[in-house]
């Protein structure tokens, strides 16, 4: 299946408690321990790790500070963005649970991810996704100009362009992330892995509900272009470089330009 990048959990990765509240505490404890270890081993990074992680009292404060610094500009100040992110992460447990699930997804599904702090500090796909979740909440609250300003900053800074109306589940890995485009009426399920240069777009023929719906557990390879209001079923795999214009059944693989189905675990059929 021509997708891209490694789906195997790094065997050394520690596993969290199953309770959500305990998981968040466990995760933040891990992140601080990692940052302390790295600051000791690499004094050149000590000040950076202090300001981004070790000086903060919680994951949501660390994340809000980091996002505010990354996304600010000379006219959109980091203090405004910090307050905006912190206010949303502090008051919305769903946002926090999604951040935790995304950190775990990167750590366990990407063997190049060596620690939770590595993802928190360095993965622009993770950071773009967390900022999008806040933009999406603002969109649903009819704070659209602010949501669109955030979308624009995320696209400038991370080269990831997700419309704030798009709905995205938990446990998402945007790997490498450069060039990802997700349209206004797209829906992405839980535990989805999306490589760089992936487009969930429209066909240019229709307005309204015009973007793909991606089921749980789908893997979308690098450079795949999925267009139109079509369904990509649970556990499907979309090959790198595919151009997908048709529904893809659950647990089925689609490859090529235009994409054809090449069988699945349950129904290993082969259609031309």
- CB of 115: closest distance to a copy of itself in angstroms? 8
Which range binds a copy of itself by CB under 8 A, 20-28, 93-101, 150-158, 261-269? Answer: 150-158
As a whole number of angstroms, the distance between CA 220 and CA 241 comes to 10
For 124-139, b where at least 16 C-beta lie within 10 A, e where not — what string? bbbbbbbbbbbbbbbb
User: Looking up tokens 């466990």, which residue turns up?
Assistant: 26
Applying CB under 8 A, does 158 fall inside the site for a copy of itself? yes
Among 14, 57, 145, 270, binds a copy of itself (CB under 8 A): 145
- CB of 157: closest distance to a copy of itself in angstroms? 7
Chain residues 51-90 in contact with a copy of itself, contact rule CB under 8 A: 51-52, 69-70, 73-78, 80, 84
Under 8 Å between Cβ of 197 and 177: no
**DSSP character at residue 55:** T
The DSSP-derived string for 73-124 is -SSS-HHHHHHHHHHHHHH-HHHHHHHHHHHHHHHHH-TT---HHHHHHH-H
Among 23, 26, 36, 45, binds a copy of itself (CB under 8 A): 45
Applying CB under 8 A, does 46 fall inside the site for a copy of itself? no
- The site string for a copy of itself over 230-269 (x = CB under 8 A, - otherwise) reads ---------xxxxx-x---------xxxx-----------
As a whole number of angstroms, the distance between CA 232 and CA 213 comes to 6
Please name the helix (run of DSSP H) or strand (run of DSSP E) that holds residue 228, with its range, or none: none
Among 4, 62, 100, 194, binds a copy of itself (CB under 8 A): 4
Cα first-last separation, the chain: 17
Among 190, 223, 247, 260, binds a copy of itself (CB under 8 A): 223
Under 8 Å between Cβ of 130 and 99: yes
Applying CB under 8 A, does 48 fall inside the site for a copy of itself? yes
- CB of 19: closest distance to a copy of itself in angstroms? 30
Applying CB under 8 A, does 171 fall inside the site for a copy of itself? no
Count the site residues for a copy of itself by CB under 8 A: 85
Under 8 Å between Cβ of 172 and 105: yes
- Give the count of beta carbons closer than 10 Å to the beta carbon of residue 252: 24
Chain residues 177-216 in contact with a copy of itself, contact rule CB under 8 A: 178-179, 181, 183-184, 195-197, 199, 201-207, 210
Applying CB under 8 A, does 141 fall inside the site for a copy of itself? no
As a whole number of angstroms, the distance between CA 81 and CA 246 comes to 40
Q: Which is nearer to a copy of itself, 29 or 203 (CB)?
A: 203
Applying CB under 8 A, does 2 fall inside the site for a copy of itself? yes
Among 151, 191, 229, 252, binds a copy of itself (CB under 8 A): 151
């Amino acid at each position: 299946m021509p997708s891209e990048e490694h789906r195997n959990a790094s065997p050394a990765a520690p596993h969290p408690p199953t309770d959500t509240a305990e998981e968040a505490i466990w995760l933040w404890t891990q992140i601080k321990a990692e940052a302390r270890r790295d600051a000791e081993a690499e004094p050149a990074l000590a000040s950076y790790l202090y300001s981004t992680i070790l000086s903060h009292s919680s994951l949501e404060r660390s994340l809000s500070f980091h996002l505010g610094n990354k996304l600010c500009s000379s006219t959109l100040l980091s203090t405004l963005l910090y307050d905006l992110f912190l206010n949303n992460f502090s008051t919305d447990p769903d946002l926090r649970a999604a951040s935790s699930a995304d950190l775990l997804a990167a750590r366990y599904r990407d063997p190049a991810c060596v620690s939770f702090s590595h993802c928190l500090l360095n993965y622009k796909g993770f950071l773009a996704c967390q900022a999008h979740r806040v933009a999406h909440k603002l969109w649903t609250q009819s704070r659209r100009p602010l949501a669109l300003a955030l979308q624009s900053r995320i696209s400038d800074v991370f080269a990831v362009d997700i419309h704030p109306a798009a709905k995205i589940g938990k446990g998402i890995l945007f790997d490498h992330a450069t060039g990802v485009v997700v349209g206004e009426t797209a829906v992405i399920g839980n535990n989805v892995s999306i490589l760089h240069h992936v487009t969930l777009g429209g066909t240019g023929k229709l307005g309204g509900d015009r973007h793909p719906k991606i089921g749980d557990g789908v893997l979308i390879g690098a450079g795949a272009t999925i267009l139109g209001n079509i369904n990509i079923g649970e556990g499907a795999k979309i090959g790198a470089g595919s151009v997908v214009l048709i529904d893809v059944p659950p647990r089925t693989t689609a490859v090529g330009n235009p994409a054809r189905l090449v069988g699945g675990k349950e129904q290993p059929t082969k259609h031309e």
